[in-house]
Amino acid sequence: MNMMAAGLLAVSCLTVSCEKDPQQASPYDIHIQGINFTNMDAAPAGSVGTPDVHTTSGSFRMYLYPNPSMNHMSLELVVDNPQPLTLTVKLVHALYAGAPQDAIVENEMLAGTVAMSEVRELEAAAPGSGSGGIGGIVQGQRVHVDFEVDRLPRGFYRVYVTLSSGEQYWDNAWIAR
């Protein structure tokens, strides 16, 4: 085998071995288009870009606050469902091509990986058992999930909530310090 053929064989073997295995691709959509800003009380405070979020349905609502966050982030979930339910909450590293120029992003290499995960079991709710809540619109079970994000890299994230029925909701988050 001549040197040129051996070199091409080595390069092609290296190229094939370095390609990502599609089986190992992230199951999460890691490209976000914008962020909804919220204050410490979950009240809207503007936005940047075109937030591509799915936070409500007829029987479910989620509120992420404050956003952007520095050290602590909260998620308020409202479920109008009389049945027992399991909620899985995941904070996933994401990419935002349209990020503000002053954004410090330290998590690009982690895009698609789960930064935090939590599972909550809910008992069956009695009809009309809601107790107020954000904006006084809560009518069902309320679940509060807190994330201490002070040790996570600065950057953009997508918060996924998956119900035991398979329904999935998400919001985009910005951790900025």
72-96 per-position pLDDT tens digit: 999 998 888 767 778 899 999 999 9
Residues 6+ apart with CB under 8 A from 46: 37
Do the domain assignments include residue 108? yes
| Cis check: omega of the bond before 44, within 30 degrees of 0 | no
Do the domain assignments include residue 3? no
Tallying the residues shown for the chain, one arrives at 177
DSSP H helical segments within the chain, as ranges? 3-18
What are the tens digits of pLDDT across the range 140-177? 778 888 989 999 999 999 999 998 889 999 999 999 97
Q: Is 109 exposed, middle or buried (0-12, 13-18, 19+ CB in 10 A)?
A: exposed
Do the domain assignments include residue 8? no
Do the domain assignments include residue 145? yes
Q: Are 38 and 64 in contact (CB under 8 A)?
A: yes
Do the domain assignments include residue 14? no
Classify 92 as helix, strand or coil: strand
What is the CATH classification number for the domain harbouring 120? 2.60.40.10
What does the pLDDT read at residue 172?
97
Backbone phi, psi, residue 170, to 5°: -155, 155
Do the domain assignments include residue 109? yes
Do the domain assignments include residue 44? yes
Q: Which residue has the tokens 């691709």?
A: 25
Question: Could you list the residue range(s) of the whole structural domain that residue 85 is in?
Answer: 28-175
Q: Mean pLDDT check: name the lowest of 12-21, 29-38, 47-56, 87-96.
A: 12-21
What does the pLDDT read at residue 12?
36
Work out how many domains the chain is built from and give that number.
Answer: 1
Do the domain assignments include residue 17? no
